[in-house]
Amino acid sequence: MYVILGPTATGKTHFASYLANKINAEIISADSRQVYRGMTIGTGKDYCDYMVDNQIIPCHLIDIVDPGYEYNIFEFKRDFTAAYKDITERGKEVILCGGSGMYIEAVLADYRLDEVPKNMILRNQLAAKSDAELVDMLLEIKGKTNKKLHNHTDLDTRERMLRAIEIESFFEEHEENEDKRVVPEAIIGLCAEREFVRQKITKRLRTRLEDEDMIGEVQKLLDSGVDSERLKRYGLEYKFITMYVLGEISYDTMFDRLNIAIHQFSKRQMTWFRRMEKKGFEIIWVDATLSDDEKIDFLANNGLKF
């Protein structure tokens, strides 16, 4: 298996498809939002990128659940395992491609997140704490590992907060003690100068808003019955465009705040990948501005053989 990761707007899908065509591989998406049907423009499902030499490169874990559903890392690990087994049993290579660092790391380190048991000792210790104290505790745990709150419904009820703290505490301990790792052929990271990425993000946002009708996509989701507050929880495009559609902010405010948020998101992605390197994951960084052939030549010069 090969892994292709990097911050948003660095052309991961395009290069993954090019490489997949070259080595007879199929792609497994590691994107926490592309799993949702109907959320296409806002999540950057550039289907045309999967067409290489008039061949469609199969991609798994895209469009697998309905919008409004709270897909999570446990389900991703399960679904990845099933997709990986299916692909390899058919004699094909696998490329895991995406920008969701937690999803990628969960696969590479083989965290058994789907088996987190109830911790009654911890729950008894938390029983006397108020809801506000539980919120603070959860956010503090997230802060220790530089994680953003992944699922805001974790704060909806006391039971959800208890379970979230239980899971994060397990995850924290599991990360420190986990020795078993799935070792890929290579982890390839795409990166570029900050200003290049900034310009590409802003240009892409304008295109999606003005030419691809991303606002219409959000309106359609709302019209289909997806709750506006739940849609906002998906963040970035869905948060700010929903606010605009509902009349809570102006178009210019929406654009400016969304543009800034995507830039900040890109920085957080790089922070996560750098953290992975500190934990022992070797990432071969490739200039995203190179052509596909130039990327392959660069990787070959770094010892990879395709």
List phi, psi (to 5°) of 93.
Answer: -80, 160
187, 3 contact by CB (below 8 A)? yes
Residue that has been written with the tokens 């070792």 in this structure = 183
- Write down the domain spans for the chain: 2-111+178-301, 116-177
Residue 178 has pLDDT above 50, yes or no: no
Residues forming a β-bridge with 97:
4, 29
What does the pLDDT read at residue 99? 95
What does the pLDDT read at residue 143? 67
What does the pLDDT read at residue 111? 67
Instruction: Tell me the per-residue pLDDT of 146-171, one tens digit each, with 9 for 90 and over.
Output: 454 544 444 657 888 888 888 777 76
Considering the domain delimited by 2-111+178-301, tell me its CATH architecture: 3-Layer(aba) Sandwich (3.40)
What does the pLDDT read at residue 252? 98
Nearest Cα residue to 236 out of 141, 107, 99: 99
Q: What number is the average pLDDT over the span 54-78?
A: 93
* pTM for the structure as a whole: 0.80
Per-residue confidence at 172, pLDDT binned at 50, 70, 90? low
